[in-house]
């Protein structure tokens, strides 16, 4: 790009810059945009109306809003005014063109004269038949919760631009007002795309739903180990779906037609674990009135999944180790030796390496179990998989309950992404099941969420309202200060200049702690007397 024609602005992220003093028309435009965003309309319609206000009131033509993919950093054009984008698929890779650069760096940029900018992409073709030398291009990041979620850009007639920094500051103020709506719009579009993905790109022969990179890595490990007889240790927090990974390994293995026997080691008392795993003869102990086959014998020719293996007692660990080493065992009270052909998959939510250090888990057993470890990430680290899973569970329980639910609101999606999910996928499923049960209409709203998530939503809403109030009050303050400076501290004339009453101006001055006397000048120099009232 021609460095004499464009430059990154010194303005920081929206909300951090020192705002220039906007004139009345600019503040009126900001207020009008804030009112549009407060109306109960479709997000796309709100954003289009906001771009129209920019054109009508601020002279910013061909306004465009691009959304960011949270995983790839790619920006795609979503909403425009004064540009026909129907049928177009316009995207920008990180750092590509001015839009891609702003998306990547989070810094506003301006091109003073498009006629001298050879690297301006104009992928929409909107300026193909225009005299670019008469246009200035402005581009700012849209930042929500300290993260770039989109890019706002617009043209302005070059002769109307007196100060690029001032124009970028104004556009950044608009971007700050749009931030929440753009964030919700990005979630809405991401949800729609993921809903299409869930039906066509599931990994073969698994029940696991995931599109994130961390889950793609898990799928790769499952594919690598499934064909072998290698022992697998699955590590992950409670509720992450460790049993689904074990099932996926079994179903993609040559043992597919054999049994998959699941044992929850944490649910079996220490006194019964040996009988449960290896069986017993009649009369082997008090209450043993029948002979019983153990779970290892039942799994012969297939797979045994020992869930929560870290909870096994020392004696049970020794017996499992023997089976691993010798492929045989004796039931309780029996002289019979039973040989088995069993693949062992284990899982735990414990840190077994720490248990080794304190002597709680046998090192020889650990090294035999962890030949091929797989780490299953917590839901909070899986990004857009949260929305993918939420859609999956919504479809599942909608069918089960016969409810007319068709979608999850963007506000709910935002909360789902913000929540830390200590119970992981299991907690998310319970949350969606509850929401479907409570929903009377076709949309899951915040009111249908559990209290913990509703509290998070209310906290976020208060923070957003506070942020919006700060922006508007800051602009109002700068407008009043400008009017007082213009009128030499005369509050009556300042009120007329702003199109309001002296009483309201006096009230706002007192509330904001403004000292109007600092603006008073020599009456003769202005042809009017200072307002003493």
Provide, rounded to the nearest whole percent, the portion of the chain with pLDDT above 90. 37
DSSP labels, 56-120:
HHH-EEEEEEEEE-TTT--EEEEEEESS--TT---EE-TTSHHHHHHHHH---EEES-GGG-TT-
Tell me the pLDDT band of 298, cut-offs 50, 70 and 90.
Answer: very high
Q: What is the dihedral of CA 229, 234, 239, 244, to 10 degrees?
A: -20
**Highest averaged pLDDT of the listed ranges 223-232, 276-285, 500-509:** 223-232
| Digit-coded pLDDT (tens) for 165-191 | 889 999 999 999 999 889 888 877 776
Q: Compute the distance between CA of residue 304 and CA of residue 115 in angstroms, rounded to an integer.
A: 70
Q: In this predicted structure, what is the pLDDT of residue 206?
A: 53
Short-list 456, 451, 462, 525, CA closest to 488? 525
Give first-to-last CA distance, the chain, whole Å: 56
Residues 6+ apart with CB under 8 A from 272: none
Token representation of residue 262: 């699941």
| Residue that wins the pLDDT comparison between 295 and 186 | 295
| Digit-coded pLDDT (tens) for 348-388 | 999 999 999 899 999 999 999 999 999 999 999 988 789 88
Question: Quick one: average pLDDT of 55-74?
Answer: 88
CA angle at 329 for the pair 324 and 331, rounded to the nearest 5°: 140
| Residue that wins the pLDDT comparison between 495 and 165 | 165
Whether 12 has a pLDDT exceeding 60, the answer reads no
Q: Which domains does the chain have, with CATH numbers?
A: 6-194 (3.30.450.40), 213-379 (3.40.50.300), 382-449 (1.10.8.60), 457-526 (1.10.10.60)
| Digit-coded pLDDT (tens) for 100-149 | 999 999 999 988 888 777 667 778 888 877 888 889 999 999 998 888 99
The whole-chain average pLDDT of the chain stands at: 83
Short-list 527, 533, 531, CA closest to 493? 531
Q: Compute the distance between CA of residue 368 and CA of residue 184 in angstroms, rounded to an integer.
A: 48
| Digit-coded pLDDT (tens) for 300-327 | 999 999 999 999 988 889 888 988 888 8
Provide, rounded to the nearest whole percent, the portion of the chain with pLDDT above 70. 85
| Residue that wins the pLDDT comparison between 266 and 334 | 266
Burial of 38 (0-12, 13-18, 19+ CB in 10 A): exposed
Question: Quick one: average pLDDT of 516-524?
Answer: 66
Q: In this predicted structure, what is the pLDDT of residue 202?
A: 44
| Digit-coded pLDDT (tens) for 427-476 | 999 999 999 999 989 999 999 999 989 887 666 555 555 555 556 666 67
């Amino acid at each position: 790009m021609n460095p004499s024609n464009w430059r990154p602005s010194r303005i920081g992220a929206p909300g951090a810059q020192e705002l220039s003093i906007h004139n009345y028309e600019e503040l009126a435009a900001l207020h009008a945009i804030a009112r549009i965003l407060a109306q109960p309309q479709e997000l796309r319609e709100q954003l289009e109306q906001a771009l129209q206000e920019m054109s009508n009131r601020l002279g910013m033509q061909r306004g465009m809003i691009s959304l960011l993919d949270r995983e790839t950093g790619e920006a795609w054009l979503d909403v425009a005014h004064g540009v026909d984008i129907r049928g177009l698929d316009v995207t920008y890779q990180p750092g590509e063109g001015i839009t891609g650069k702003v998306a990547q760096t989070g810094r506003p940029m301006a091109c003073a004269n498009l006629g001298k900018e050879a690297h301006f992409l104009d992928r929409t073709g909107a300026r193909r038949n225009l005299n670019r030398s008469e246009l200035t291009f402005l581009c700012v990041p849209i930042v929500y919760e300290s993260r770039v979620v989109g890019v706002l850009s617009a043209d302005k007639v070059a002769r109307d631009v007196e100060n690029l920094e001032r124009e970028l500051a104004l556009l950044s103020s608009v971007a700050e007002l749009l931030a929440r709506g753009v964030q919700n719009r990005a979630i809405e579009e991401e949800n729609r795309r993921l809903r299409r993905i869930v039906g066509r790109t599931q990994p073969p022969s698994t029940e696991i739903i995931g599109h994130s990179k961390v889950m793609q890595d898990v799928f790769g490990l499952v594919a690598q180990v499934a064909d072998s007889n290698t022992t697998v240790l699955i590590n992950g927090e409670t509720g992450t779906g460790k049993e689904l990974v074990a099932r996926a390994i079994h179903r993609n293995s040559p043992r597919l037609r054999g049994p998959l026997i699941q044992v929850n080691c944490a649910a079996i008392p220490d006194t019964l674990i040996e009988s449960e795993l290896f069986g017993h003869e009649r009369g082997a102990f008090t209450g043993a009135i029948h002979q019983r086959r153990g779970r290892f014998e039942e799994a012969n020719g297939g797979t045994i999944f020992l869930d929560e293996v870290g909870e096994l007692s020392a004696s049970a660990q020794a017996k499992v180790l023997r089976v691993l080493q010798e492929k045989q065992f004796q039931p309780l009270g029996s002289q019979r030796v039973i040989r088995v052909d069993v693949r062992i998959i284990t899982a735990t939510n414990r840190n077994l390496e720490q248990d080794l250090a304190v002597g709680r888990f046998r090192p020889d057993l650990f090294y035999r179990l962890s030949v091929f470890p797989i780490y299953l990430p917590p839901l909070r680290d899986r990004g857009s998989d949260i929305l993918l899973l939420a859609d999956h569970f919504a479809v599942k329980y909608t069918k089960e309950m016969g409810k007319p639910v068709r979608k999850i609101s963007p506000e709910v999606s935002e909360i789902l992404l913000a929540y830390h999910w200590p119970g992981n996928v299991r907690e998310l499923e319970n949350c969606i099941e509850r929401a479907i049960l409570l929903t009377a209409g076709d949309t899951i709203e915040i009111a249908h969420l559990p209290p913990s998530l509703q509290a998070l939503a209310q906290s976020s809403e208060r923070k957003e309202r506070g942020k919006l109030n700060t922006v508007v009050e800051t602009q109002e303050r700068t407008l009043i200060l400008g009017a007082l400076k213009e009128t030499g501290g005369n509050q009556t004339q300042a009120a007329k200049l702003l199109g309001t009453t002296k009483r309201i101006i006096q009230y706002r001055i007192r509330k904001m702690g403004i000292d109007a006397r600092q603006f008073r000048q020599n009456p003769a120099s202005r042809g009017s007397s200072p307002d003493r009232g």
